[in-house]
C-alpha cells in the first residue's frame, strides 16, 4: 500500500464511512430482522449467528450463501422482507453512534458513505439518526455495483464518484468483510469497534483482517484522519 513520504505528509483526500455499525448503531436491529426472516423461510438461525456469519456482507451475497446451503431459492422479495422488518424497528430502536456528528463535522476533507444496504435503508437510517444532511448526497450502495463487500467494487465506485485516488482514501469499517474489500481496493482502513454489536475481541479480528488501527470512540477519529498517511502512521493501534 502506498504511503506518503514523511517529508511530504498530507491528509487523506477522502473518508469513506460504512453505515451500519459505524454511523448508526443498527447492526443488532438488522441481524435480528435477518434472523427472523431467514428462520421463517426454513433456515433456522439466531441473531448472534447472523452477526458472526454475515456482518458487513451485502444482503445479496448473504442470500447466495444461504441458498447454496439450503439447495433452494428464497422468495424473490426476500431482501425486501428483511429490509422492511428492520425499517419498522428504526423509529423506536435506532440511535446514532455516540459522538459521530461531531466527528463528521471535525473532519476537514470530503466524506461519503459506502454501505451494503439498499439506498432506501441507508437514507432512512441516516435520517432517523439525524445524519443524512451531513453526508448527502454522497451516499453509495452495494446495489450500484456488480459485487458487494467483501469485493472491492463498492469502494472503488465511491472513490471514482468522489474523484479520489484509492490510495488516498481511508475507510471506516466495523466488519472483516468491509476491511477485506477496502484493502482489495488499495485503501487504508480504520477499524471501529464501538457499536453495541461488538463483543470482546472484535478489535483483534479487525486488526487481523488488516485494519491499520482500531478505535472504539468516535472522538478519536478526527485525529486519526488528520495524522495522514505518512511514514510512522498510524500513531497507535
Q: Which residues are catalytic?
A: 18
Helix (H, G, I), strand (E, B) or coil at 42: coil
Q: What is the CA radius of gyration of the chain?
A: 17
As beta bridge partners, residue 16 has 112, 171
DSSP string spanning 160-205?
A: HHTT--GGGEEEEESSHHHHHHHHHTT-EEEEE--STTPPTTHHHH
Distance of alpha carbon 137 from alpha carbon 135, whole angstroms: 6
For 160-184, b where at least 16 C-beta lie within 10 A, e where not — what string?
Answer: eebebebbbbbbbbbbbbbbbbbbb
Helix (H, G, I), strand (E, B) or coil at 132: helix
Q: What angle do CA 164, 183, 59 make, to 5 degrees?
A: 95
Query: Which DSSP helix (H) or strand (E) runs through 126?
Result: helix 119-128
Distance of alpha carbon 27 from alpha carbon 78, whole angstroms: 18
| HEC sequence for 209-231 | HCCCEEECCHHHHHHHHHCCCEC
Q: Is 7 exposed, middle or buried (0-12, 13-18, 19+ CB in 10 A)?
A: exposed
Amino acid at each position: 500500500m502506498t504511503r506518503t513520504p514523511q517529508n511530504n505528509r498530507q491528509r487523506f483526500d477522502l473518508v469513506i464511512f460504512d453505515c451500519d455499525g459505524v454511523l448508526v448503531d443498527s447492526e443488532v436491529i438488522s441481524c435480528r430482522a435477518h434472523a427472523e426472516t431467514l428462520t421463517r423461510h426454513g433456515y433456522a438461525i439466531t441473531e448472534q449467528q447472523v452477526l458472526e456469519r454475515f456482518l458487513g456482507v451485502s444482503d445479496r451475497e448473504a442470500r447466495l450463501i444461504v441458498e447454496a446451503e439450503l439447495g433452494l431459492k428464497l422468495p424473490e422479495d426476500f431482501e425486501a422482507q428483511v429490509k422492511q422488518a428492520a425499517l419498522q424497528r428504526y423509529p423506536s430502536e435506532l440511535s446514532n453512534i455516540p459522538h459521530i456528528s461531531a466527528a463528521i463535522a471535525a473532519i476537514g476533507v470530503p466524506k461519503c458513505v459506502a454501505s451494503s444496504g439498499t439506498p432506501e435503508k441507508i437514507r432512512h437510517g441516516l435520517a432517523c439518526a439525524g445524519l443524512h444532511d451531513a453526508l448527502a448526497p454522497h451516499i453509495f450502495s452495494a446495489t450500484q455495483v456488480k459485487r458487494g463487500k467483501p469485493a472491492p467494487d463498492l469502494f472503488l465506485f465511491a472513490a471514482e464518484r468522489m474523484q479520489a485516488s484509492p490510495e488516498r482514501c481511508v475507510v471506516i469499517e466495523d466488519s472483516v468483510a468491509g476491511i477485506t474489500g477496502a484493502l482489495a481496493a488499495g485503501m487504508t482502513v480504520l477499524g471501529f469497534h464501538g457499536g453495541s454489536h461488538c463483543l470482546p475481541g472484535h478489535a483483534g479480528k479487525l486488526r487481523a483482517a488488516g485494519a491499520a488501527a482500531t478505535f472504539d470512540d468516535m472522538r478519536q477519529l478526527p485525529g486519526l484522519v488528520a495524522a495522514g498517511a505518512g511514514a510512522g502512521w498510524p500513531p497507535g493501534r
